[in-house]
């Protein structure tokens, strides 16, 4: 009997050895973020670390975690110790708020619905735009092959889907049938559905599949910077959907770890002029008037509609379109 | 062997014709087998190295010594260092239990030991989240004690234990079954203690099988993707094991970096296979 | 559990429990084994069972019979079936060549067979994609013949073939090694052709291990994730496998659906393994009875 207890104790010790030791005051915080924000936060973090040293005199290190933002929200609910989140989906922050991880009024806690920057679904086409893509209508032509991630798993693709739907609704005077038909054709033209935004980029650029990659305008420009401005072109459609990038402090964790102040300071920094300049350099559109004016020539004019305008709310859009058996499933079925 | 034929018969013209036909058939079969194996297994490995070195050795090296990739290599090694000893202790214990005693539930235990092999790694990861995640009873209890079970090294170690625990046991059980317990009983009769018996009688008999199982388990620990990706939390430079780092780099516009990291894993795989066949050659123990 | 379980030296004479437990260490090994099995294997699996029990039967049925889930199962099962058939035949051939023939590179081939076990599935995945997509070595070749493998159902089957090659070989190989040549020789002497010898003498003896290998390969293919997701187009209804659907459901916070699908995959895998076990038992009884 003694041996059993001993063995149990030994094994428990071994298992426990992997558990982390908790520091009283955290020297690092974790920013849990969406898939394609890697380069952005990799640039912001060192600047903020400097800024925090100057303003508070304290050392801080920032860890990053990137994956699909829904997956990230789930991980936080399951115990991933995020001090703050920077997502690309309002819904994914909202579910954290519903579960008590984020303050109930998180959208009011910071300016612009707690979104320090925004973007919109736009198109990336190959050199000289061989298929002559100008607007959403060109994407449903039979000779055009598209690449964008699976709307079921990717927030990025959900924007694309909703933007196309909103465009078709508007064009057909609010006729839902016609809009469904339109997105049906659009989905039919998709060559590969990857699970995340980055997967689609690889498919389009490295594997050279498809004629148009649909992703955030910011990402479109980042890809051009990465792979050659001359080899790819940006096409911004006549109308698109406002894509907000909501941020919030995960108060439940931050309070527990004592990182509330630094986490809040981090988010505030994103709104500062310095922060906004970095953000704009990654081709996101920002609200800071000064920065906006200085970079006006980088961003073509586009008319943006919001999810709230067209679909009522994110929750409604989710229910109608993305739930099991919702419009997206029906459209897929009809393919 | 196949020498039931007498020398005088072997020189008969019909026999030589038969032998020639056999030779052609044999050659054809060997060729087909080699071609298929090259196609299914050889070419993919070649492709990894070709892609990794596509931009030259310097670029390859830069990608390998990138801090996050180096950290991923370290984390992968660390995980293996924790998982393997536990696996060996468990494997030996369970093999001893199964082969040396008869007790109720023995057959059930035998089935359970093999269970992890038939469970999809993703499902395994899901199970761990359900039981040890923050929303579970155990997870929230541990949280009160400030112990985090998932999304850190503990989580990675736990799922790695799950996916690799059958390796050592399944190598040892058949061997210990066959070798029987006469020697051990003899040693005990001569006055050896239990530990001495194990150390000097049992261990020498099973050490190669033990090593063999540990090598296979090691390869799997270092290469596990699905289960680890569910419980890792994807924190850069903290919970990214090498296979996850491969996917991350691949998604990061850095295909060359991904394939460079993949060559490290491929090398581990190749070393595993070499060690495996060395042991096999010296101590054949196929059952 | 009484004194018999103590790990000290046990008198060599017959003990109260009979000769079965003469050797020491029962308590220690039982303790370690049970603790490990409980914490690492059974407890997590009970989590899945618990989650599924929370789900009413009608809910379960609704999730499983939704078109998307059914399509995912169709894709997974059919690709796994093809991969299994291929690997069963290929495994037989490889095992035969490895056991019966001597040829240069035999050791290498023998080692290579285990490569899919040793190579991480994520690495296998990206390497297969690099090979078979439009610009890859194989991709260009097949493209010329009008065949597309990457991002199609064929790609899924290919990845499954890769990951389950060893099962087909390693289960048959040892049995083949232990076969006695006497009967074959006798058959040959009586004028049987090679094919007849194989069909009537060799194969019946291999049959149980052949079935085991095939069922293991099938179970592995069903659950494969890492290698497949890279090369599958991940298109719902067409190239979406069950494991991916589980992942997707997880990311949608839909734990019940994820566990329902996961439980079903697990049940199918276990069912196939048990079936194989039964078939094997019957086959070996038949063999032994005949011998």
The per-residue pLDDT for range B266-277, each reduced to its tens digit, is 999 999 888 888
Q: Which residues of C touch B30 (CB under 8 A)?
A: 97, 101, 103
Put simply, the answer to whether A19 touches B235 (Cβ < 8 Å) is: no
CA atoms within 13 A on the CB side of C242: 31
Name the residue among B214, B215, B239 with its Cα closest to residue B158. Answer: B239
Same domain for C63 and C23: no
Q: Which residues of B touch A22 (CB under 8 A)?
A: 146
Q: How confident is the model at residue A16 (pLDDT cuts 50, 70, 90)?
A: very low
Same domain for B240 and B129: yes
Q: Is the pLDDT of residue A20 over 90?
A: no
Q: Which of the other chains make 3 or more beta carbon contacts under 8 angstroms with chain C? A: A, B
Rounded distance between C-alpha atoms, residue B142 and residue A1, angstroms: 26
Q: What percent of chain B has pLDDT over 70?
A: 95
Give the distance from CA C34 to its chain's centroid.
Answer: 26
The whole-angstrom distance between C28's CA and the closest CA on chain A is 5
Residue B28: strand, helix, or coil: helix
- State mean pLDDT over C90-104: 91
Map B141-200 to HEC letters. Answer: HHHHCCCCCCCCHHHHHHHHHHHHCHHHHHHHHHHHHHHCCHHHHHHHHCCCCHHHHHHH
Q: Which residues of B touch A226 (CB under 8 A)?
A: 253
Same domain for C251 and C147: yes
Q: Is the pLDDT of residue C12 over 80?
A: no
Same domain for B210 and B170: yes
Candidate from B133, B146, B255 with C-beta closest to A22: B146
Same domain for B36 and B70: no
Candidate from B135, B148, B253 with C-beta closest to A77: B135
Indicate if ipTM > 0.90.
Answer: no
Report pLDDT for B7. 53
Question: Which domain does C36 fall in, by range?
Answer: 3-52
Same domain for B90 and B14: no
Tell me how crowded residue A43 is: count the other CB atoms within 10 A of its CB: 13
Put simply, the answer to whether C119 touches B37 (Cβ < 8 Å) is: no
Report pLDDT for A25. 65
Q: A17 in contact with B at a CB cutoff of 8 Å?
A: yes
Report pLDDT for A32. 95
**C-beta separation of B71 from B237 below 8 A:** yes
Long-range contacts of C144-151 (CB under 8 A, 24+ apart): C149/C231, C150/A207, C150/C231, C151/A191, C151/A192, C151/A209, C151/C231, C151/C232, C151/C233, C151/C235, C151/C239
Same domain for C191 and C241: yes
CATH of the domain at C121: 1.10.3720.10
- State mean pLDDT over A80-104: 93
Question: Which domain does B278 fall in, by range?
Answer: 56-282
The mean of the pLDDT values for chain C is 83
Q: Which tens digit of pLDDT belongs to each residue from A209-265?
A: 899 999 999 999 989 988 888 999 999 999 999 999 999 999 999 998 999 999 999
Answer whether residue B1 is part of any domain. no
Rounded distance between C-alpha atoms, residue A207 and residue C106, angstroms: 36
Name the residue among A16, C36, C35, A97 with its Cα closest to residue B146. Answer: A16
Report pLDDT for B194. 86
Answer whether residue B287 is part of any domain. no
Put simply, the answer to whether C259 touches B25 (Cβ < 8 Å) is: no
Same domain for B147 and B268: yes
Q: C164 in contact with B at a CB cutoff of 8 Å?
A: no
The whole-angstrom distance between A45's CA and the closest CA on chain C is 27
Rounded distance between C-alpha atoms, residue C78 and residue C91, angstroms: 19
**Which stretch of DSSP H or E encloses residue A12?**
helix A2-16
Who's near B64: CB < 8 A, 6+ residues apart? B70, B260, B261, B264
Same domain for C64 and C16: no
Same domain for B120 and B27: no
Same domain for C169 and C214: yes
**Which fold would CATH assign to domain A121-241+303-334?**
D-Maltodextrin-Binding Protein; domain 2 (3.40.190)
The per-residue b/e assignment along A118-146, b for 16 or more CB within 10 angstroms, e otherwise, is: bbbbbbbbbeebeeebeebebbbeeebbb
Query: Best mutation site among C156, C251, C254, C261 for testing chain A: the one with the most A CBs within 10 Å?
Result: C251
Put simply, the answer to whether A65 touches B235 (Cβ < 8 Å) is: yes
Query: Residues of B numbered 171-230 whose beta carbons fall under 8 angstroms of chain C's beta carbons: which are they?
Result: 181, 184-185, 188-189, 191-194, 197-198, 216, 219-220, 222-226, 230
Candidate from A22, A30, A78 with C-beta closest to B235: A30
For B82, the closest chain A residue by CA position comes to A14
Q: Which of A279-283, B206-210, B280-284 has the lowest mean pLDDT?
A: B280-284
- DSSP at A21: P
Q: How confident is the model at residue A165 (pLDDT cuts 50, 70, 90)?
A: very high
CA atoms within 13 A on the CB side of B268: 25
Describe the crossing of helices C121-132 and B242-251 by its angle, rounded to 10 degrees.
30
- State mean pLDDT over C123-133: 90
Same domain for C151 and C28: no
Q: A20 in contact with B at a CB cutoff of 8 Å?
A: yes
**C-beta separation of A76 from A85 below 8 A:** yes
How many distinct structural domains can be found in chain C? 2
Tokens, residue A319: 């229910």
- DSSP at A59: -
Query: Best mutation site among C126, C171, C227 for testing chain B: the one with the most B CBs within 10 Å?
Result: C126
Tokens, residue A151: 């709307």
Q: What percent of chain A has pLDDT over 90?
A: 66
Rounded distance between C-alpha atoms, residue C74 and residue C268, angstroms: 13
Rounded distance between C-alpha atoms, residue B286 and residue C170, angstroms: 10
Give the distance from CA A37 to its chain's centroid.
Answer: 7
- State mean pLDDT over B85-98: 94
Distances (CA, A) of A293 to A151, A240, A290: 34, 21, 5
The whole-angstrom distance between A74's CA and the closest CA on chain B is 10
Per CATH, A24-117+244-298 and A121-241+303-334 having the same topology is answered yes
Same domain for B136 and B36: no
Who's near C52: CB < 8 A, 6+ residues apart? C60, C259, C260, C263
Which CATH code is given to the segment(s) A24-117+244-298?
A: 3.40.190.10
For C30, the closest chain A residue by CA position comes to A4
Domain locations in chain A as residue ranges: 24-117+244-298, 121-241+303-334
Q: Which residue has the higher pLDDT, A125 or C256?
A: A125
Same domain for B84 and B128: yes
- State mean pLDDT over B6-27: 73
Who's near B158: CB < 8 A, 6+ residues apart? A15, B128, B132, B149, B231, C40
The per-residue b/e assignment along A281-290, b for 16 or more CB within 10 angstroms, e otherwise, is: ebbbbbebee
Query: Residues of B numbered 67-86 whose beta carbons fall under 8 angstroms of chain C's beta carbons: which are they?
Result: 86
Q: What sign for the dihedral angle of Cα B168, C217, C224, C35?
A: negative
Q: Is the pLDDT of residue C161 over 70?
A: yes
Q: C75 in contact with A at a CB cutoff of 8 Å?
A: no
Candidate from C7, C41, C126 with C-beta closest to B246: C126
Report pLDDT for A195. 73
End-to-end Cα distance, chain A: 65
Same domain for B25 and B122: no
Rounded distance between C-alpha atoms, residue C202 and residue A162, angstroms: 62
Q: How confident is the model at residue B285 (pLDDT cuts 50, 70, 90)?
A: low
- pTM of the predicted structure, to 2 decimals: 0.82
Rounded distance between C-alpha atoms, residue C12 and residue A5, angstroms: 27
Tokens, residue A240: 């698109």
CATH of the domain at B119: 1.10.3720.10
Put simply, the answer to whether A191 touches C151 (Cβ < 8 Å) is: yes
How many distinct structural domains can be found in chain B? 2
Q: How confident is the model at residue B8 (pLDDT cuts 50, 70, 90)?
A: low
Q: Which residues of C touch A70 (CB under 8 A)?
A: 251-253
Give the distance from CA B100 to its chain's centroid.
Answer: 25
Same domain for C263 and C210: yes
Put simply, the answer to whether A18 touches B153 (Cβ < 8 Å) is: yes
Query: Best mutation site among B44, B164, B256 for testing chain C: the one with the most C CBs within 10 Å?
Result: B44
Q: Which of the other chains make 3 or more beta carbon contacts under 8 angstroms with chain A? A: B, C
Q: Is the pLDDT of residue A23 over 50?
A: no
Positions of E strands within chain B:
none
Q: C16 in contact with B at a CB cutoff of 8 Å?
A: no
Report pLDDT for A281. 93
Report pLDDT for A17. 43
* Cα Rg, chain B, nearest whole Å: 25
Rounded distance between C-alpha atoms, residue A275 and residue A145, angstroms: 37
Put simply, the answer to whether C130 touches B51 (Cβ < 8 Å) is: yes
Q: Which residues of B touch A154 (CB under 8 A)?
A: none
Report pLDDT for B58. 93
Q: Is the pLDDT of residue C1 over 70?
A: no
Report pLDDT for C6. 34
Q: Which residues of A touch B252 (CB under 8 A)?
A: 38, 198
Rounded distance between C-alpha atoms, residue A177 and residue A175, angstroms: 6
Cα dihedral C82→C86→C91→C93 (10° resolution): 160
Same domain for C30 and C109: no
Put simply, the answer to whether B252 touches A16 (Cβ < 8 Å) is: no
- Would you call B196 exposed, middle or buried from its count of C-beta atoms within 10 A (0-12, 13-18, 19+)? middle
Q: Is the pLDDT of residue A4 over 90?
A: no
Beta bridge partners of A121: A216
Q: How confident is the model at residue C283 (pLDDT cuts 50, 70, 90)?
A: low
The whole-angstrom distance between A88's CA and the closest CA on chain C is 15
Q: Which tens digit of pLDDT belongs to each residue from C172-224?
A: 988 888 888 888 888 888 888 888 888 888 888 888 889 989 998 998 899 88
- DSSP at A20: P
Query: Best mutation site among C53, C95, C118 for testing chain B: the one with the most B CBs within 10 Å?
Result: C118
Candidate from C1, C35, C248 with C-beta closest to A11: C35
For B253, the closest chain A residue by CA position comes to A202
Tokens, residue B231: 């419980």
Q: Is the pLDDT of residue B3 over 50?
A: no
Rounded distance between C-alpha atoms, residue B205 and residue B187, angstroms: 14
Q: B53 in contact with C at a CB cutoff of 8 Å?
A: no
At residue A306, φ and ψ (nearest 5 deg) are -110, 160
Q: Which residues of C touch A15 (CB under 8 A)?
A: 39
Q: How confident is the model at residue B236 (pLDDT cuts 50, 70, 90)?
A: confident
Report pLDDT for A21. 42
Q: C238 in contact with B at a CB cutoff of 8 Å?
A: no
Tell me how crowded residue B12 is: count the other CB atoms within 10 A of its CB: 11
End-to-end Cα distance, chain C: 44
Describe the crossing of helices C255-290 and C67-100 by its angle, rounded to 10 degrees.
40
Q: Which residues of B touch A38 (CB under 8 A)?
A: 252
How many pairs of residues across B and C have Cβ atoms under 8 Å apart? 274
């Amino acid at each position: 009997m003694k041996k059993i207890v001993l063995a149990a104790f030994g094994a428990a010790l071994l298992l426990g050895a992997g558990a982390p030791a908790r520091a009283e005051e955290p020297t690092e915080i974790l920013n849990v973020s969406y898939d394609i924000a890697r380069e952005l936060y990799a640039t912001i973090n060192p600047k903020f670390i400097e800024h925090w040293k100057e303003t508070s005199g304290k050392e801080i290190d920032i860890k990053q975690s990137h994956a699909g933002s829904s997956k990230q929200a789930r991980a936080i609910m399951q115990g991933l110790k995020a001090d703050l989140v920077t997502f690309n989906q309002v819904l994914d922050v909202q579910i954290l708020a519903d579960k008590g991880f984020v303050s109930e009024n998180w959208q009011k806690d910071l300016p612009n619905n707690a979104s320090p920057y925004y973007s919109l679904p736009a198109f990336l086409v190959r050199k000289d735009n061989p298929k002559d893509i100008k607007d959403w209508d060109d994407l449903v032509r039979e000779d055009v092959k598209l690449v964008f991630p699976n709307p079921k798993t990717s927030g990025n693709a959900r924007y694309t889907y909703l933007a196309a739907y909103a465009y078709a609704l508007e064009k057909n005077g609010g006729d839902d049938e016609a809009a469904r038909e339109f997105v049906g054709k659009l989905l039919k033209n998709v060559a590969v559905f990857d699970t995340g935004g980055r997967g689609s980029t690889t498919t389009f650029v490295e594997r050279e599949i498809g004629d148009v990659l649909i992703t955030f305008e910011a990402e479109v420009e980042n890809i051009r910077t990465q792979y050659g401005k001359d080899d790819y072109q940006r096409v911004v459609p006549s109308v698109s959907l406002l894509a907000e990038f909501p941020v919030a402090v995960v108060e439940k964790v931050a309070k527990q770890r004592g990182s509330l102040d630094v986490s809040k300071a981090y988010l505030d920094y994103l709104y500062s002029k310095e922060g906004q300049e970095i953000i704009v350099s990654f081709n996101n559109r920002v609200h800071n008037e000064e920065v906006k004016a200085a970079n006006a020539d980088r961003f073509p004019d586009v008319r943006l509609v919001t999810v709230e305008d067209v679909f009522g709310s994110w929750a409604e859009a989710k229910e109608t379109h993305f739930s099991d058996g919702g419009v997206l499933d029906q459209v897929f079925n009809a393919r | 062997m196949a020498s039931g034929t007498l020398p005088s018969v072997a020189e008969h013209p019909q026999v030589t014709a038969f032998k020639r036909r056999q030779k052609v058939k044999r050659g054809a079969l060997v060729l087909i087998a080699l071609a298929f194996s090259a196609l299914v297994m050889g070419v993919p490995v070649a492709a990894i190295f070709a892609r990794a070195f596509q931009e030259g050795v310097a670029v390859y090296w830069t990608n390998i010594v990138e801090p996050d990739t180096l950290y991923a290599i370290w984390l992968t090694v660390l995980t293996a260092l924790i998982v393997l000893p536990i696996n060996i202790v468990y494997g030996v214990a369970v093999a001893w239990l199964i082969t040396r005693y008869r007790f109720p539930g023995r057959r059930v235990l035998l089935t359970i030991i093999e269970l992890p092999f038939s469970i999809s790694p993703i499902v395994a990861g899901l199970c761990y989240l359900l039981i040890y995640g923050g929303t579970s009873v155990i997870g929230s209890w541990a949280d009160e004690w400030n112990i985090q079970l998932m999304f850190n090294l503990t989580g990675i170690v736990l799922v790695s234990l799950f996916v690799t625990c059958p390796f050592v046991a399944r190598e040892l059980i058949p061997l210990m079954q066959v070798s029987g317990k006469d020697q051990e009983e003899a040693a005990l009769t001569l006055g050896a203690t239990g530990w001495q018996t194990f150390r000097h009688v049992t261990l020498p008999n099973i050490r190669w099988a033990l090593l063999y199982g540990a090598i296979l388990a090691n390869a799997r620990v270092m290469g596990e993707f699905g289960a680890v990706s569910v419980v890792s939390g994807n924190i850069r430079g903290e919970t990214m094991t090498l296979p996850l780092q491969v996917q991350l780099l691949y998604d990061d516009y850095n295909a060359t970096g991904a394939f460079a990291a993949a060559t490290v894993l491929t090398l581990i795989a190749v070393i595993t296979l070499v060690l495996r066949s060395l042991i096999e050659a010296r101590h054949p123990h196929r059952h | 559990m009484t004194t018999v379980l103590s790990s000290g030296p046990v008198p060599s004479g017959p003990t109260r429990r009979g000769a079965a437990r003469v050797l020491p260490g029962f308590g220690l090994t039982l303790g370690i084994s049970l603790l490990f099995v409980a914490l690492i294997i059974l407890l997590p699996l009970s989590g899945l069972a618990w989650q599924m029990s929370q789900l009413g039967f009608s809910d379960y049925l609704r999730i499983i019979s939704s078109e998307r889930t059914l399509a995912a199962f169709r894709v997974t099962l059919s690709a796994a079936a093809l991969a299994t058939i291929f690997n069963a035949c290929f495994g037989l051939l490889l095992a035969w060549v490895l056991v019966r023939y001597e040829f240069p590179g035999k050791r290498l081939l023998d080692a290579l067979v285990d490569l899919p076990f040793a190579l991480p599935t994520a690495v296998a995945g990206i390497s297969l994609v690099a090979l078979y997509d439009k610009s890859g070595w194989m991709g260009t070749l097949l493209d010329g013949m009008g065949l597309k493998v990457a991002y199609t159902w064929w790609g899924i089957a290919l990845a499954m073939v890769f990951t389950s090659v060893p099962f087909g070989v390693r289960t048959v190989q040892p049995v083949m090694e232990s076969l006695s040549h006497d009967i074959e020789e006798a058959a040959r002497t009586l004028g049987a052709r090679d094919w007849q010898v194989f069909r009537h003498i060799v194969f019946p003896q291999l049959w149980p291990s052949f079935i085991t290998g095939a069922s293991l390969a099938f179970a592995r293919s069903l659950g494969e994730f890492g290698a497949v997701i890279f090369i599958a187009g991940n298109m719902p209804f067409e190239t979406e496998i069950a494991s991916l659907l589980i992942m997707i459901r997880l990311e949608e916070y839909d734990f019940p659906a994820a566990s329902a699908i996961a439980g079903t995959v697990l049940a199918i895998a276990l069912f196939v393994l048990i079936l194989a076990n039964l078939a094997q038992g019957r086959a070996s009884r038949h063999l032994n009875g005949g011998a």
